[in-house]
């Protein structure tokens, strides 16, 4: 009986999950294309942000790994806190990333040869999976807060490696492009 109630509670969030999974990437893409300085606004380029949001990606990766350790060692409260913090870090990253790109020109990658292909492979998979991971994170979170722990555990096995990949490759992309910042 409680499983039915848990599923009903989970279903209440489905429309919100779908909406956020569509709205977030569209909003980021739209805002990414707006440069406030080119529109005549007197704003300073936020060129100090890339190392900060790369650091936030690194923190997110660490939080995810420690969270996995916590749940495997039956430290559920710690697991919950770490995952909520990882979600918060991801939101903070996104806000900073958009703010940077709305105030600064994009930096072209200057590497040549094989490393250029490696960079673009990592960048493209990072971007694609950062979109894909949104509904996975939201569904995983909702299954936890609605006490659907068996279903939470099943999807977390998919969510965790994707989210970890996005966090780690965010740092790698930054490290690879940072020599080319003006």
Rg of the chain, C-alpha, whole Å: 18
120 C-beta neighbours (distance < 10 Å), count: 14
Identify the domain containing residue 32 by its residue range: 2-180
Predicted pLDDT of residue 99:
94
Q: Are 90 and 140 contacting, i.e. CB atoms less than 8 angstroms apart?
A: no
Predicted pLDDT of residue 8:
81
Q: What is the mean pLDDT of each run of 10 residues along the chain (182 residues)?
A: 72 92 94 86 92 98 98 98 98 95 91 96 97 98 94 97 98 96 80
Dihedral of CA atoms 95, 98, 104, 110 in degrees, nearest 10, equals 110
Give the CATH number of the domain where residue 171 resides: 1.20.120
Considering its fold, how many domains does the chain have in total? 1
Global pTM reads 0.92
């Amino acid at each position: 009986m409680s499983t039915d109630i848990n599923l009903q509670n989970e279903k209440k969030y489905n429309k919100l999950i779908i909406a956020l999974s569509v709205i977030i990437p569209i909003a980021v893409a739209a805002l990414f294309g707006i440069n406030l300085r080119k529109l005549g606004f007197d704003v300073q380029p936020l060129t100090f942000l890339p190392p900060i949001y790369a650091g936030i990606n690194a923190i997110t990766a660490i939080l995810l790994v420690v969270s996995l350790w916590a749940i495997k060692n039956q430290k559920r409260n710690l697991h919950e806190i770490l995952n909520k913090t990882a979600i918060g870090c991801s939101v903070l990253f996104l806000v900073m990333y958009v703010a940077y790109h709305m105030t600064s020109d994009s930096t072209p990658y200057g590497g040549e040869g094989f490393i250029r292909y490696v960079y673009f492979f990592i960048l493209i998979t990072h971007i694609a999976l950062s979109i894909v991971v949104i509904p996975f994170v939201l569904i995983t979170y909702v299954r936890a807060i609605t006490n659907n722990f068996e279903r939470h555990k099943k999807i977390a096995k998919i969510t965790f490696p994707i989210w970890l990949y996005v966090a780690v490759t965010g740092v790698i992309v930054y490290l690879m492009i940072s020599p080319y910042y003006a």
